[in-house]
Amino acid sequence: MKIKNKKLSLLCITRKYPPQVGGMENFSYNLLNGFDEEQVDKKIIALGKKQFHLVWFLPYCLLYVMLNAHKYDIVFIGDGVLCSLRFFGKLFARNTVFVISVLGLDITFKNPVYQLYLKLFYKDFDDYICISKETEKALKARGIKSSTVITPGVDTKKFKNNYRDISSFRKKYGLDRDSLIMITVGRLVKRKGVQWFLQNVMPKLKDKNIVYLVVGSGDDSQLIKETKEKYQLNKVQLLGRVSDEELKALYTNADIFVMPNIRINNDMEGFGIVALEASLSKSIVIASGIEGIKDAIIDGKNGYLLKSQNEEEYIAKILDIYQNRTEYNIYAEEFCRFTKDNYSWEKICELYITHFKELLERD
């Protein structure tokens, strides 16, 4: 199918979309609304509500796809939960290309009913676009061979009008003038490694003027609180959920962003969007070099990858930054530029369009 000199007609279907809030919602919104309108004529069908609405949304999408998929060059499905759309849509639109986004947890979720659903319908897509190499690895474990890796992007303008106001920031959180500020942002579950970090790294830094601010909530919240109390980590503050404005201030005024993930069976880090945002804010990112984080942070380019659960490496890197802050401030500027140049949504959306056209040419 020749597509070079005509607009690409694209049907996008997603269950995760604003006004609902979350990583998948942001991913869907920025990707689907970032396509160049001069190259793509798109229609978006999005749920944008709580997931119990799937009871009517999925049947609606099935009916729409069966009646209309033949009008589009490509039908782009948001994740594995909607994979049955390809099976029924292809019955009525044999020439339409069906592509699905692979996010990681959408194929590793171990519910047996869901896995049976995937076994029946999660096959024979024309392509599977994975958000990281680790996600692609999990996909190939299912026996699927045709796949492509295109990472998510990041809003490069997010911190455009944010400036460090370190004196006000230190006053708000009761911090010393010369303290090194570390933050972690994310859902507090075991694979994020926050409890491990508190137990194994922070006690070794107690004699240094280093504070650690933890943003987020989740299943591990209570265990993390107990670990803080057990080791008397007075320089650790558990902030819970914060407003968007406060979160931006935390990113902008932090010296180090820590992402100390650990490996947990059937619970992988598909990517590392918060690490990219931290890089944009000019925090120095130090992260475990595992899973999808390796596609977000390129060691020495926009942060540092350390061995997961290696307390010596984490302590050494933190102390090096603590002792050489001026030098690392220069690195932070360079890392920010690298992230802007390589992970802007403009660049990522263009990669998608190019790939879609290649699929149609191949067809």
Residue 349 falls inside a structural domain:
yes
Residue 161 falls inside a structural domain:
no
- Together in a domain, 202 and 310: yes
Residue 261 vs residues 109, 180, 256, 258, 335: alpha-carbon distances, Å:
19, 21, 15, 9, 21
- Together in a domain, 94 and 204: no
Q: pTM of the entire structure?
A: 0.86
Residue 3 falls inside a structural domain:
no
The count of other CB atoms within 10 Å of the CB of residue 200 is: 19
Q: Is the pLDDT score of 362 beyond 90? A: no
CA angle centred on 224, ends 220 and 230, rounded to 5°: 145
- Together in a domain, 352 and 326: no
* DSSP symbols for 73-126: SEEEE-SGGGTHHHHHHHHH-TTSEEEEEE-SHHHH---HHHHHHHHHHS---S
d(CA 248, CA 31): 22
- Together in a domain, 231 and 132: no
Confidence of residue 267 (pLDDT cuts 50, 70, 90): confident
Residue 228 falls inside a structural domain:
yes
- Together in a domain, 34 and 126: yes
Residue 1 falls inside a structural domain:
no
Domain that holds residue 226: 166-343
pLDDT at position 253 is 93
pLDDT at position 4 is 55
- Together in a domain, 291 and 339: yes
Give mean pLDDT, residues 259-265: 94
Q: What is the pLDDT of residues 176-208, one digit of tens each?
A: 888 999 999 999 999 999 999 999 999 999 999
- Together in a domain, 306 and 348: no
- Together in a domain, 215 and 226: yes
- Together in a domain, 129 and 256: no
Residue 41 falls inside a structural domain:
yes
When divided into structural domains, the chain yields a total of: 2
- Together in a domain, 27 and 141: yes
Give the end-to-end CA distance of the chain in Å, rounded to a whole number: 6
Q: What is the pLDDT of residues 314-323, one digit of tens each?
A: 999 999 999 9
Residue 159 falls inside a structural domain:
no
- Together in a domain, 355 and 323: no
- Together in a domain, 327 and 202: yes
In the chain, the percentage of residues whose pLDDT exceeds 90 is: 83
Q: What's the CATH number where 71 sits?
A: 3.40.50.2000
Residue 158 falls inside a structural domain:
no
